[in-house]
């Protein structure tokens, strides 16, 4: 069965500095990997996903994530943090190809706090 871990409950970064939110995963086959962001009192919003191809995936709002198969990681990154990036970030994984019974598993979330 697949699993995903976000080892940090909270990450604090000064505005303008680069940020990294960590995610590691476990699947028996090849993974689909996702990042979602959740702002207060709102549903999750899709940021980016990795299916295949280039290990560096670019997404919304200037975010990118790097797929590292040997380390089973999919860390979310941004070169220069904005205060408006403060939110709850979720990593998610599922196996490919999609089957009838598999599902996306979400991590517990990492709260990103950008300090002005």
Partner 1 sequence: EAGVVQSPRYKIIEKKQPVAFWCNPISGHNTLYWYLQNLGQGPELLIRYENEEAVDDSQLPKDRFSAERLKGVDSTLKIQPAELGDSAVYLCASSPARLAGLDTQYFGPGTRLTVL
Residues that bind partner 1 (CB under 8 A): 32, 34, 36, 41-46, 49, 51, 90, 92, 94, 96-98, 100-101, 103-104, 106-109
* Cα distance between residue 58 and residue 66, in whole Å: 9
* Cα distance between residue 71 and residue 62, in whole Å: 24
- Cβ distance to partner 1 smaller for residue 9 or 70: 9
Residue pointed to by tokens 């909270």? 10
**Eight-state DSSP code of residue 16:** T
User: What is 44-109 written as a DSSP string?
Assistant: EEEEEEE-SS-SEEE-GGG-EEEEETTTTEEEEEESS--GGG-EEEEEEEEEES--SS---EE---
């Amino acid at each position: 069965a697949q699993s995903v871990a976000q080892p940090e409950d909270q990450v604090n970064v000064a505005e303008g500095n680069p940020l990294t939110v960590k995610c590691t995963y476990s699947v028996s086959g090849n993974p689909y990997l996702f990042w979602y962001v959740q702002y207060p009192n709102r549903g999750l919003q899709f940021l980016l996903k990795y299916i295949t191809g280039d290990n560096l995936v670019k997404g919304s709002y200037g975010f990118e994530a790097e797929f590292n198969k040997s380390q089973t990681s999919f860390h979310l990154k941004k070169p220069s943090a904005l205060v408006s990036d403060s939110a709850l970030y979720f990593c998610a994984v599922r196996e490919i190809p999609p089957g009838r019974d598999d599902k996306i598993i979400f991590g517990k979330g990492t709260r990103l706090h950008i300090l002005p």
